[in-house]
Structure 1
Amino acid sequence: MLQPDAALLRALLPFPRLIPALRDAFAAGATVPLRHTHHIGEAGQPGAGISLLMPAWDDAGFYGVKIVNIFEGNAAHGLPGLHSTYMLYDARTGAPLAMFDGNEITSRRTAAAAALAADYLARPDARSLLVVGAGRVGSLVAPAMAAVRQLERIAIWNRDTAAAARCAQAWRDQGLPAAVADDLEAAVREADIVSCATLATTPIIRGEWLAAGSHLDLIGSFTPRMTEADPACFANASVWVDTDEAPAKAGDLINAFAAGCLSPEALRGNLTDLARGTRGGRESADERTVFKGVGTALEDLASARLAYQQLIASPR
């Protein structure tokens, strides 16, 4: 069984390869059961945690399971609150093929899915990007978006300006034209693409800030109590999701439904529709688009499969 370290895994999943792999995976489809949630110990008690199991398998003969363990009390032990692993198997025999760092799989596929959506929904001439959030996923958004658009200006905003500065410097080291945004509203108004990758529970982005023809990408929040954009962001916009589970999981959408700014019936479609070409993406230069992603095990499986195939093609 192969077990590459995190650094090698990152090298195996460059965005110019990962984004097309996700496109192909959404077009082909996979079996993705609902995730399993297990509570370990009693909630609120020391040592209690939650374990999430996210399985998926495809017709190409691959079966994978991501296990995410969330233990909020780990800070007291000097440990991260979340640990994740990904196991890839042969779907025809059950034989284990590889074990991957689940955090790397998750963060890279999340940024790649955002870029895949932007390739369909952002204007072809989009040149400016604002990233909101400088965490694990946020730090990957600019390189991912740069794989689908010729970006001439990249700004990053984060509540911790030092973290934003470190992220901007890392992007400049990669040859990207990045700088820190001090004024969030002004940065949103100037951006062709606004990408949010935060764990916010109150809205950060206001609808009145978004320019005509802009694309809003929301990939940070993934539970009903989390939200990055106020309901007005969805009014008079073409709204797309990654999967049909998003309306029940995403606080952004739930709040927009409750406020009357969006209805479930008004959702334009999902990434499968776009990848298969059964529904068109952006229809005009002035159209304002929104993509809300909550993540899916299909993306994890596609990423793990790509990494494995490259490992066996070029043993290291």
Structure 2
Amino acid sequence: MTDLTTASADDRSLRILSTGDLAGIDISLADVVETVEGAYRTLHAGQSDNPRKLTVKPADGHSVAYAMLGRDGSRDVVAIKTSYKHGLDKGRDEQHYYTSLTVYDDVTGLPLAMMDCSRIGSLRTPAVSALLARECAAPGARSALVIGTGTQGRLALPFLLTTLPDLDRLMLSGTHPEGIAAVREQVRSYFPDREVEVVTDLRAAAGDADVIVATAGGHTPAAVEADWLKPGALSVLVGHGLAPSTLHRADRVIATSEAQMNVTGTDMANADGKLPAVDAEFPSVLAGVTAGRGSATERIFAYNSGLVVTDIALGHRFAQLALAQGLGTEMALWR
């Protein structure tokens, strides 16, 4: 059961959770990691459904839209997420981005909530990167490099410290002063005793890093090459910042979903337009069925594409917390 059966008054009402409603909800990084991990384990157990996302993009590439439908078997909820970004040919300040999640109770058949999904995505994605690092980083990993200071980069280090608390060198590669300041503030708010080192020599920093998380936008000049990496390095691709060689020359390739990697990872294709086969999908790694790493010296490439079941799980968790606090607005949407 969802424990949210009173979220909507009847089958014609829907609770709307705005950006402001969700911003005021306090949730720990450990809670987010646990929720996301549980969603992966349920998916691997065959209790959830996560079909391939649908994508539409105009020929000139100025926008992209996704639709993702899924079912969480442990929560008995069905949800659809939509995502639309406009202005991909422009700078960050000129882009528009809208994303929402609508959740239905698959026991009662009633709608639970419709919410802005931006905060959920900003938490879910770095939590997945942190889980990938926990399972796939070399034993004794001590240094991490984050490339990019946008939405996905700002919480990458706090989440990495949540799953790899022994990290003692935190490096950041970014070009936007406000983004760099935001990353430092996020680390300071969660781990006040930790310092962030801003690096300007990307090649040297990549060569020192045990874990690299690339979150930069499409206009970044950053492109870490395979021969920059030290033995045992783990490279996690979220956005941009890694050259295709890090994928094609990796000793082991992990993906949250091979099908989604083949849809959204085409910019990492080789000269023939092909992507290498995936050695393991991450749900099976988390379940202990497949090893995340075969040896301490393997260079591993991990592709972090969002699975809607993780959005559903985290969105449901936010809806629980919002309802407990009386947040949101009931809308008679279908009257």
TM-score, normalized by length of structure 2? 0.78
CA distance in 2, matches of 1:287, 1:257: 25
* Partner residue of 1:147 out of 155, 158, 162: 162
User: By how many angstroms is 1:38 displaced?
Assistant: 5.8
Contact 1:62–1:88 (CA under 8 A) maintained in structure 2 = yes
In the alignment, what sits opposite 1:274? 285
1:224 paired residue number: none
Paired residue type of 1:152 = D
Contact 2:126/2:152, CA 8 A, preserved across alignment: yes
Q: What residue is the counterpart of 1:129 in the other structure?
A: 144
**Pairing partner for 1:209 from 228, 252, 274:** 228
CA distance in 2 between counterparts of 1:85 and 1:165 reads 28
CA distance in 2, matches of 1:208, 1:74: 30
CA shift digits 1:142-174 (9 cap, x unpaired): 011111102211111013355324423442343
The AA in structure 2 aligned to 1:231 is S
Of stretches 185-194 and 90-99 in structure 1, the one that deviates more from structure 2 is 90-99
Match of 2:40 in 1: 26
Gaps of 5+ in 1: 222-226
Relative to structure 1, the CA distance from residue 200 to residue 74 in structure 2 (aligned partners, 3 Å threshold; closer, same or farther) is closer
1:207–1:28 Cα change, 3 Å: same
Q: Quote the Cα distance in structure 1 between the aligned partners of 2:39 and 2:55.
A: 25
In the alignment, what sits opposite 1:184? 202
How many residues are treated as equivalent by the alignment?
301
- Partner residue in 2 for 1:167: 183
Higher helix share: 1
CA contact under 8 A between 1:206 and 1:233: conserved in structure 2? no
2: CA distance, partners of 1:230 / 1:36: 24
- Take 1:284 and 1:73, find their aligned partners in 2: how far apart are those partners? 39
* Equivalent position to 1:158, from 174, 177, 188: 174
Aligned AA (1:205): V
Closer/same/farther in 2, CA of residues 26 and 10 from structure 1, 3 Å limit: farther
Q: Which runs of 5+ in 2 are unaligned?
A: 1-14, 328-335
Q: Secondary structure at the match of 1:277?
A: coil
Q: Is 1:14 aligned to residue 33 of structure 2? A: no
Tell me the secondary structure at the aligned position of residue 138 of structure 1: coil
Distance 1:79 1:231 in 2: 31
Are 2:284 and 1:284 aligned? no
1:63 aligns with 2:72: no
Maintained 8 Å contact 2:81/2:101: yes
Runs of 4 or more above 6 Å deviation: 73-76
RMSD between aligned residues: 3.1
* Equivalent position SS for 1:146: helix
TM-score, length basis structure 1: 0.83
